[in-house]
Structure 1
Amino acid sequence: MRTIQESGSPDNGGSHESPGDQVVIVLTTWPDDDRAGEVARRLVEHRLAACVTRLPRHRVTYRWQGAIEEAEEHQWVIKTTRGALPRLWDAVRAAHPYETPEWLVLDVAGGGEAYLQWVRASTAI
């Protein structure tokens, strides 16, 4: 990703964007498989995400259907907007191999205004 020069101070959450333009972070996990790169690229190509960060493989322990399970997964950090969430969820759900994929949406309270604008522009349709 290219570096964007910012002028002024970072936005501290006081911007006046519409609710659909609010930048959010989505956390999800993906199994350790070969399709992950293809899916992440499609999310960006279709303007559902400005960026998909796929963190290195890690080991997870969790309870599923009454049993303690372990698996290897990649944590994904997806930068998008609230307005893109329904389409992003549909795309992730359609491609995801898990019955119940992780889907956590975190509001972004502030950040560099140039970066926030880049996320908005990258997900605008």
Structure 2
Amino acid sequence: MDRLDSLCPPAGYPRQFVLLCFLILTATFLMYPVLKPLSLQLQASVTGSYVSGTHSVVFVNCPNEQIARDIARAILDKKLAASVNILPKASSLYFWQGEIEETTEILLLIKTKTSKIPGLSRYIRLVHPFETPEVFSLPMDQGDVHYLKWLEEGMKEN
């Protein structure tokens, strides 16, 4: 029986152990939003792999080519994106104030880091002539590693 007693923890041990486990699990749960991106970045740097969703393509419609060029140049100057494609003459049909509108717009395809999208959206709302500019994004799932590194380099601050 002495041998069996030596294998059992002291009387207060289980309660302390349960409390410690609860605290560790709670801290892990609360820190998950912070820890996940950090662990993915660490994995990517160690393995050389791409973390899906690190970069995004943002779509913005503009009323004409000059405004599109001005916005594209400004967001590149501010390092909010690494590349912008200007696609001419997109036909747009949409509801506005209860009516169906039809117009020709210029589409910007903006390639950026997903983390820069909130700042990019705020800036576009400031400079865009539309009352409610179209700004939405899609995360990049895959991509050429060399291109994605080039994107990173294009957004580095001097």
Q: TM-score, normalised by structure 1?
A: 0.79
Aligned-pair RMSD on alpha carbons? 1.7
Deviation at 1:35, TM superposition (A): 2.7
Percentage of pairs with the same residue: 33
User: Structure 1: which 5+ residue stretches go unaligned?
Assistant: 1-13
Question: RCO higher in 1 or 2 (8 Å CA, sep ≥ 6)?
Answer: 1
Describe the superposition over 1:1-55 as per-residue Cα deviations: whole angstroms up to 9, x where unpaired: xxxxxxxxxxxxx5248x7xx1100011001153321221111111101111110
* SS of residue paired to 1:34: helix
Q: Which residue in 2 is equivalent to 1:81?
A: 113
Q: Which residue in 1 is equivalent to 2:50?
A: 15
* SS of residue paired to 1:101: coil
Q: Which residue in 2 is equivalent to 1:57?
A: 89
Query: Partners of 2:50 and 2:110 in 1: how far apart?
Result: 21
Q: Which residue in 1 is equivalent to 2:150?
A: 118
Describe the superposition over 1:36-91 as per-residue Cα deviations: whole angstroms up to 9, x where unpaired: 21221111111101111110122211111110111110111000001211221121
* SS of residue paired to 2:150: helix
Corresponding residue to 2:76 among 25, 41, 44: 44
Q: Which has the larger radius of gyration?
A: 2
**Contact 1:23/1:120 (8 A) holds in 2:** no
Q: Which residue in 1 is equivalent to 2:26?
A: none
User: Number of residue pairs matched?
Assistant: 109
